């Protein structure tokens, strides 16, 4: 537990305090309103929704959920989303930490160039790489395979991953590494037993960024995959938004189904942040 210095209440100007509370209140309303609306809407039938978009349901029904689940084959989609999200996140964290360690603590003339190329990656958009990626995945025979989806997902998470990890590891004092070297440890040993455990905070940050990115990813999965057996949740959710019509009731049920894991994940990890950060706090 860290010690906190007591703040003199008079320090915190009442106007400022009121402002902060107000902003927080505004945020709360703005956040809960869409969520509430989402759940309420999922309880309406499509017809009722079109007549009454924003009000309470007259005849609430839970039918949308099982129907949506069945029609869009959510069980497969769910498992796939889980698979791709978890695996890609773990791999991104692993590779980013490795590269980050190398860039931060090992000397090499290649670092500015390589590190810089990752920074560029943060700026790239999905649109520009979609068609070439497709061509490549077809040529290498990875089209319509799990690996063919994983590799791009990992590749897209790496820029921000490498950047954050490099920054973080840079802040670990060189003395820590040097003294371990003097004790005869190999670089890998240093990485595995010293750096990695300390990296909990950045790992958690990366996990959050990556998970929310991959879980909601929609465009690439459609391009790289044909078989239903490989598809993920966003595809299923979008299926309810037709061209000239929409089945709103079911779409909202689908959206809720997709939302719940994300919320749960965040609630779980929220505690981890504080835990992980205090564990990683640097003693002076």
Q: Which of 79, 192, 229, 266 binds other proteins (CB under 8 A)?
A: 266
Binding mask 198-237 for other proteins (x = CB under 8 A): ---x--xx--xx--x---x-xx--xx--xxx-----xx-x
Q: Report the candidate in 122, 118, 169 with the shortest Cα–Cα distance to residue 282.
A: 169
150 Cα distance to chain centroid = 15
Q: Binding to other proteins (CB under 8 A): which residues in 59-78?
A: 63, 67, 71-72
The answer to whether residues 97 and 203 touch, using CB atoms and an 8 Å cutoff, is yes
Q: Which of 14, 15, 123, 183 binds other proteins (CB under 8 A)?
A: 123
Q: Which of 11, 14, 15, 56 binds other proteins (CB under 8 A)?
A: 11
Q: Which of 164, 177, 214, 253 binds other proteins (CB under 8 A)?
A: 164
Residue 46 sits in the site that holds other proteins (CB under 8 A): yes
The answer to whether residues 233 and 74 touch, using CB atoms and an 8 Å cutoff, is yes
Q: Report the candidate in 189, 212, 199, 201 with the shortest Cα–Cα distance to residue 272.
A: 201
Helix (H) or strand (E) holding 214: helix 200-215
**How far is 197 from 168, CA to CA, in rounded Å?**
13
Q: Which of 22, 62, 108, 193 binds other proteins (CB under 8 A)?
A: 108
Residue 48 sits in the site that holds other proteins (CB under 8 A): yes
Q: Report the candidate in 171, 168, 166 with the shortest Cα–Cα distance to residue 119.
A: 166
Residue 33 sits in the site that holds other proteins (CB under 8 A): yes
Tell me the closest approach of the beta carbon of residue 1 to other proteins, in angstroms: 11
Tell me the closest approach of the beta carbon of residue 128 to other proteins, in angstroms: 4
**How far is 225 from 233, CA to CA, in rounded Å?**
13
Q: Binding to other proteins (CB under 8 A): which residues in 175-204?
A: 181, 186-188, 191, 201, 204
């Amino acid at each position: 537990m860290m010690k906190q210095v007591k703040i003199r209440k008079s320090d915190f100007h009442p106007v400022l305090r009121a402002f902060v509370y107000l902003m927080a209140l505004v945020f709360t309303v703005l956040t809960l309103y869409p969520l509430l609306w989402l759940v309420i809407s999922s309880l309406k039938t499509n017809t009722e929704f079109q007549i009454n978009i924003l009000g309470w349901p007259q005849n609430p029904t839970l039918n949308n959920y099982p129907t949506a689940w069945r029609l869009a084959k959510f069980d497969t989609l769910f498992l796939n989303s889980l698979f791709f999200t978890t695996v890609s996140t773990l791999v991104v964290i692993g590779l980013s930490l490795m590269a980050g360690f190398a860039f931060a603590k090992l000397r090499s003339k290649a670092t500015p160039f390589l590190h810089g190329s990752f920074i560029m990656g943060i700026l790239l958009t999905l649109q520009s790489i979609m068609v070439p990626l497709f061509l490549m995945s077809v040529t290498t025979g990875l089209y319509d395979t799990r690996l063919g989806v994983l590799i791009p997902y990992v590749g897209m998470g790496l820029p921000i991953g490498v950047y954050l990890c490099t920054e973080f590891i840079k802040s670990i004092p060189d003395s820590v590494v040097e003294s371990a070297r003097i004790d005869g440890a190999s670089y890998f040993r240093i990485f595995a037993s010293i750096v990695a455990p300390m990296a909990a905070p950045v790992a958690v940050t990366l996990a959050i960024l990556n998970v929310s990115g991959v879980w909601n990813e929609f465009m690439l999965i459609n391009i790289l995959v044909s078989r239903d057996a490989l598809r993920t949740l966003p595809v299923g959710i979008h299926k309810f938004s037709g061209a000239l019509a929409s089945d709103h009731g079911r779409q909202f049920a689908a959206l809720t189904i997709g939302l719940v894991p994300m919320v749960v994940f965040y609630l779980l990890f929220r505690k981890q942040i504080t835990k992980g950060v205090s564990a990683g706090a640097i003693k002076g």
